Structure 1
Amino acid sequence: MIDVLVVDDDFHVAGINERYVSRVPGFRVVGRAHDAASAFAAVQRGGIDLVLLDHYLPDESGLCLTRRLRREGPDVDVIMVTADNRPASVQEALRAGVLQYIVKPFTFEALRGKLEGYAQLRAALGDTALDQDKIDRVLGTLRAAAAVGHMPKGYTERTAELIRQIVCRAGGPVSAHEVSAQARVSRSTAQRYLKYLEEQGRLRLTLKYGDSGRPEHHYSTA
């Protein structure tokens, strides 16, 4: 279980964010804070893996708090949530060690994608050793999460998530034909979504060669 501290100066927004986080399997909110001092004290007490951090706080900016946490510890990961969409602010946050940057207002689906990408990152980094392919896929989870909530025209996140879940439950590589049957969509639709999810780093593509010598695309969890 990944323990999350929700930090926002707006009590109402903090409550919404807490409910969003609690809806994502594998995550639980263990505390809320409405200013930087309370957030820093909560992290110092321990038991927190991830801080969902508002940038605009009454006593100190979220960015300054992030830098202070990096200097003084303990180690926690930070996802910044803010209405500030200026390129310089995003760059500054990334340099400070923020893993993800979410611009308000955001949907549950957008936050869920980022949290799921973060969970995959933590799981991958728990391995004893990483080869280059694994490292590329680990970094791909963050790139994929950044794209969630901005689906290409003609795609829906609901269908994408349905197809991803079918592949996850399969327990091994599956073909577009198998996915289309379970999702009750056409094979061409299944292929489009599988290709999209693979390009976003949310699924992994492997080729299986049959008697004809032509490769068949199979997909599994990234």
Structure 2
Amino acid sequence: MIDLLVVDDDFYVAKINAHYASQVTGFRVAGIAHSAGPALAAVERGGIDLILLDQHLPHESGLSFTRRLRHLGHDIDVIMITADRRPELVREALRAGILHYLVKPFTCDALSNKLKAYAQLRGTLGETREMDQASIDLTLGALRTPEAEHVAPKGYSARTADLVSRTVAEQGPGRQVSAQEVSELARISRSTAQRYLKFLAESGKLQLALRYGDSGRPEHLYSGV
């Protein structure tokens, strides 16, 4: 079992990320923290294998916190989860030893794929045998498999994909719509709209945003790029 710590200053986002992670076989959410201080305390209590870490935290950034962990000798893996897309931050994150960088907002499947790849990576590196070059190359690329996140819906139809894409675009620049709205406007089932919206967002053809209600469950909203 891989124990992970979710660190995000937004209580709703932290709760949702913890829920997503808890659905992945082999992972257990050992705790949630909303700033660097409680996160470090959780690490020092022991039992944490992986941190899902937001960059924008109160008092200390996720990147600074990662560097502090390394300085203190804590050998814990980190996946950065943030809306910050600046190239310089990505570069510094890699230099700090962060394994992967997942951009918000993302789907449950996107996080699940990264965690499964991480589990595979961890298992491979845990083996005692020496690795050949092919195994090393495969291991280093384990977390960088975007094709796993862009699987077309079952029975994929380019015509339906175009219909969904046009329906969103016709609502105007920046206008966000839900799967239910697309379903009604395009006269297709809600489940079909949902599948194609998700695929188009993961393929970069639509933008996904999450809106959190009182229930804590995020509503997925889509707009043109």
Query: Which TM-score applies when normalising by structure 2?
Result: 0.65
After superposition, give the CA deviation of every residue in 1:145-200 in whole Å (9 maximum; x if it has no partner).
x444345xxx34x79xxxxxxxxxxxxxxxxxxxxxxxxxxxxxxxxxxxxxxxxx
Q: Which residue of 1 is the match for residue 94 of structure 2?
A: 94
Q: Which residue of 1 is the match for residue 85 of structure 2?
A: 85
The answer to whether the Cα contact below 8 Å between 1:4 and 1:30 also exists between their aligned partners in 2 is yes
After superposition, give the CA deviation of every residue in 1:50-89 in whole Å (9 maximum; x if it has no partner).
0000110011000000000011032100000111011111
Q: Which residue of 2 is the match for residue 202 of structure 1?
A: none
Q: Which residue of 2 is the match for residue 104 of structure 1?
A: 104
SS at 2:91 equivalent: helix
Q: Which residue of 1 is the match for residue 72 of structure 2?
A: 72
The answer to whether the Cα contact below 8 Å between 1:4 and 1:48 also exists between their aligned partners in 2 is yes
SS at 1:141 equivalent: coil
What displacement does 1:6 show? Answer: 0.4
In structure 2, what residue type is equivalent to 1:7? Answer: V
In structure 2, what residue type is equivalent to 1:105? Answer: P
The answer to whether the Cα contact below 8 Å between 1:107 and 1:149 also exists between their aligned partners in 2 is no
SS at 1:124 equivalent: helix
Structure-2 change in CA distance of 1:91 and 1:148 (3 Å):
farther
Q: Which residue of 1 is the match for residue 141 of structure 2?
A: 140
Q: Which residue of 2 is the match for residue 54 of structure 1?
A: 54
Q: Which residue of 1 is the match for residue 204 of structure 2?
A: none
Structure-2 change in CA distance of 1:147 and 1:67 (3 Å):
farther
Q: What is the alpha-carbon root mean square deviation over aligned residues?
A: 1.5
The answer to whether the Cα contact below 8 Å between 1:37 and 1:59 also exists between their aligned partners in 2 is no
In structure 2, what residue type is equivalent to 1:15? Answer: K
More helix by share: 1
Query: Which TM-score applies when normalising by structure 1?
Result: 0.66
Structure-2 change in CA distance of 1:148 and 1:84 (3 Å):
farther
Aligned length: 154
Equivalents in 1 of 2:148, 2:98: separation in Å? 18
Equivalents in 1 of 2:60, 2:106: separation in Å? 23
Unaligned runs of 5+ in 1: 160-222
Q: Which residue of 2 is the match for residue 197 of structure 1?
A: none
SS at 1:142 equivalent: coil
Equivalents in 2 of 1:64, 1:57: separation in Å? 10
Q: Greater RCO between the two (CA within 8 Å, min separation 6)?
A: 2
Aligned structure 1 segments of 4 or more residues deviating by more than 4 angstroms: none
In structure 1, what residue type is equivalent to 2:48? Answer: I
In structure 1, what residue type is equivalent to 2:66? Answer: T
Q: Percent identity?
A: 62
Equivalents in 1 of 2:13, 2:58: separation in Å? 15
What displacement does 1:38 show? Answer: 0.7
Equivalents in 1 of 2:15, 2:147: separation in Å? 25
Equivalents in 1 of 2:20, 2:85: separation in Å? 22
1:29 aligns with 2:29: yes
Equivalents in 1 of 2:44, 2:131: separation in Å? 31
